[in-house]
Structure 1
Amino acid sequence: MKIAKASLVSPDHNFWYGSFAVAISTFILAYSARFGQVSVLAYYGLWLPLILVDYRHSLGNYTRFYWIIAFGVFACLSVFWSAAPGVTARAGVQYLSHIVCALIAARTVNVRTMALGMLAGVIFVLLYSLAFGGYHYDPLDGDYSFVGAFASKNQLGFFASLGIYFAFACIFVLGERGFARLLALFGGCLSGYALIASQSATSIIATAATLVVMIGLSVTVLFAPRTRKTLFALGIVLVLGLVFVGLNLGGMAMVLGAFGKDATLTGRTYLWAEGIAAGWESPVVGAGYYAYWVQGFSEAERLWEEFYIGSRSGFHFHNTYIELFVELGFIGLLLAGLVIVRVWLGYLLRLLHGHDVMRSHLLFGVAFMLLVRSFFEVDVMHPYAIGSFLLYYSAGLLAASKPARDLAFPAAQPVSHLRVRHAR
């Protein structure tokens, strides 16, 4: 039996394979640490063979992606000054190959296929956690939290946030009907339950902020591009005003208190200070990718002990930019920051100018959620992580000179995005 290439690599004809590959990738990236090397090989098996099917379409002209892969290349090069060169070499190759997989996905999977695949994948992830997960006692919070099949409530909360977001996007941005809408409703309810059970303040705040912004943009895109820019500027002024008033009236303390946090964010401000101090020891190029949290290194051992990390692994500074500064210095911070900011700003500008409205609307929400979380979590600088996969998928689509069509099935488009053709 001969399989048509288009059913594997064409964004307009590979809905079933693309959604399957994204769903399985989501599950693997959630539990790769749990299932080990076999799951990682399966992840590569979903994307890298597409190069053999049609290498020109799967890879394209990678010179357009120089700003996307620069950070991954620099992470690999840090092996030459790394404090733990063996760890850096392995992690750097893993991260760079992970970027390649995400860029292949960007070349071969359109945004509707990705959204539905992500939603299905998150549902599988959460069902697995509910079936086989458990609770974990946090000595810093002094409370038990449901962590599912993860090692951290924040990871469970992140996937629950993604489930809520993509359920919202499928209904209100893509305008799905029928079975896809039922899937979105089920996924949204399941994710909402998991988010509450996780008690992850970061995830709850990031989800709420993203949904508020997305709803505001849903109204904004109904107007002409010039009006959109004015409304967006007014919205920024309003938000900044509310933040200023809230801070002066003790709003921050009230928000933190609602989640059982104190002014130190349960020790994070101390951890941030320690990270900044560590970064200044090698401010230009850092200690090397993955070369700080290494067993046997005195500073890592000290922080693991202070924060009750018995496993002596899987810990970070709970801030993407501080983590970047420590591991790869100002150069790494600049290269990674370029990707994060350019993706967020790129889709915002496309949305305000009326270019690829549906795709820009959906992927701006993804970029916004990752941006909010970047100040409290490290989602985008590790290999085999769903945050970095989504970031580089979004960057790959943004870098495309001729963006692929957003939808495989035009009937799924909401009315607000349709062009009405008048009869002559």
Structure 2
Amino acid sequence: MKLSKAIFIEPGTNHWYGSVAVSLSVFVFAYSFIYGQPSVLLYYALWLPLILIDYRAVLGNYTRYLWIVAFAVFACLSVFWSDAPRVTARAGVQYASHIVCALIAARTIDLKTLLTGLLGGTFLVLLFSFAFGDFIYDPLDGSYSFSGMFSSKNQLGFFASLAVYAAFAYLFLPSTRRVTKALAVLVGIFGLYGLVMSQSATAIIALAATLLAVIALGCTLFFQPGTRKSFVAFGLTLAIIVAVGAYSLGVVDLILAFFGKDSTLTGRTYLWSEGWLAAEESPIVGLGYQAYWVQGFSEAERLWHEFYITARSGFHFHNTYIEALVELGYIGCALIILVLFVTSLGVLRRVIASPAGLGPLILTGITMMLVIRSFFEIDVMHPYAIGSFLLYYTAGRVAGWRAMGTRAARAAPDWRAYAADGRIHP
């Protein structure tokens, strides 16, 4: 029996394969620290063999990805000056290959398939955590919170927030059955329960801000592209004014108090100051990718001890930019900012300029959530992580849109035209 290539690599046609691949990938991202190498090999087996089917269709013109892979390339090069070259070499190769898989997904998986896979994957992750997980005690604030099978409630909260957002976005897709929408709602409710149980302030605030922004931006789709631009400019200006006013009036402290936090963010401000000091050792190129949190290194051991991290692993500076400064200096920090900025700007411009605004709008929400969380977590800097997979998937889509050119983008059919076959691509 000869199988068609389309069921594996053609967006829309490969819906079932792609949904399963994304779902299993999400599960691997959550629990690879438990199942180790076999789970990672499964992740690679889902994406890399697609290159053998049709490498041109799967990889495309990879020169357009230079701005996307620049950070990963620099991370790999840091092995030459790393304080822990073996750790850096291994992590760098893992991160680079992880990005390749995400870019393959960007070429072969459409938005409907991605959301279906996210719903299935996050449901499995949450179900597994609620079935076998437990509460953990936080010695810094003296509270108990449910963390599932994770070592941090924030990770459980992140997957729960993705479940809620994927369910919210799925409801607006054209040509989806009521049954599947009902299932998406159930997954979203399960995600909300996971958010409440995790008590993750970062996840709740990031999700709330993302949903509000997406709803506001979605209202502009009823207007012409020129009018959308004015609305977006006004909205961004208003958001900056509100944020500055809220900070100056102490609203931020009230919000933190509601979640049981104080102005130190449960020790994170101290951790950030320690990160700035560590970055001064090698401010231009850093200490090497993942070369700081290494067992036996005095500063890492000291911070693990101060924050009661008995496992002596899985810890970071809780800020993407400070982590990048420590590991890869100003150059590395600038490169990760480049990926985040160009990706965010790319999806936003697509929402404004293209008649096919729904798909880019949903991806804008994903990117916005990652950007908000980047000030408190490092979701996009590690291999085999859902945050970095989603970032580079979206970046790959932006690169595809840019290759189409402005004229082709403006001439793209309206998203409602896809209702006949349920596809939203590119």
Q: Is the TM-score greater than 0.5?
A: yes
CA distance in 2, matches of 1:329, 1:138: 31
CA distance in 2, matches of 1:147, 1:202: 14
CA distance in 2, matches of 1:398, 1:246: 33
Check whether the contact 2:19–2:114 (CA below 8 A) recurs between aligned residues. yes
User: Does the residue aligned with 2:171 lie in a helix, a strand or coil?
Assistant: helix
Task: Look up the match of 1:4.
Answer: 4
What amino acid sits opposite 2:158 in the alignment?
F
Q: TM-score, normalised by structure 1?
A: 0.95
User: Which residues in structure 2 correspond to 1:17-416 (within 5 Å)?
Assistant: 17-174=17-174, 176-354=176-354, 356-400=356-400, 401-402=403-404, 410-411=419-420
Deviation readout 1:217-264 (Å, 9 max, x if unpaired):
111111111111111222223222322332233211100100111111
Shift of 1:352: 1.2
Change (3 A) 1:408 1:127: farther
Task: Look up the match of 1:420.
Answer: none
What amino acid sits opposite 1:302 in the alignment?
R
Q: Give structure 2 stretches of 5+ with no counterpart.
A: none
Check whether the contact 1:115–1:170 (CA below 8 A) recurs between aligned residues. yes
CA distance in 2, matches of 1:154, 1:178: 32
Check whether the contact 2:174–2:418 (CA below 8 A) recurs between aligned residues. no
Identity %: 59
Check whether the contact 1:74–1:332 (CA below 8 A) recurs between aligned residues. yes
What amino acid sits opposite 2:384 in the alignment?
Y
Change (3 A) 1:407 1:75: farther
CA distance in 2, matches of 1:254, 1:412: 48
User: Does the residue aligned with 1:221 lie in a helix, a strand or coil?
Assistant: helix
What amino acid sits opposite 2:334 in the alignment?
L
Check whether the contact 1:13–1:408 (CA below 8 A) recurs between aligned residues. no
CA distance in 2, matches of 1:112, 1:359: 9
Check whether the contact 2:112–2:173 (CA below 8 A) recurs between aligned residues. no
Check whether the contact 1:111–1:407 (CA below 8 A) recurs between aligned residues. no
Deviation readout 1:357-388 (Å, 9 max, x if unpaired):
12211111100000000000000010000000
Check whether the contact 2:225–2:355 (CA below 8 A) recurs between aligned residues. no
CA distance in 1, matches of 2:388, 2:245: 34
Shift of 1:174: 4.8
Q: Give structure 1 stretches of 5+ with no counterpart.
A: 418-424
CA distance in 2, matches of 1:181, 1:333: 40
What amino acid sits opposite 1:208 in the alignment?
A
Change (3 A) 1:410 1:105: same
Check whether the contact 1:165–1:207 (CA below 8 A) recurs between aligned residues. yes
User: Does the residue aligned with 1:172 lie in a helix, a strand or coil?
Assistant: coil
Change (3 A) 1:52 1:110: same
Check whether the contact 1:112–1:174 (CA below 8 A) recurs between aligned residues. no
CA distance in 2, matches of 1:305, 1:367: 34
Check whether the contact 1:137–1:144 (CA below 8 A) recurs between aligned residues. yes
CA distance in 1, matches of 2:35, 2:85: 26
Change (3 A) 1:364 1:33: same
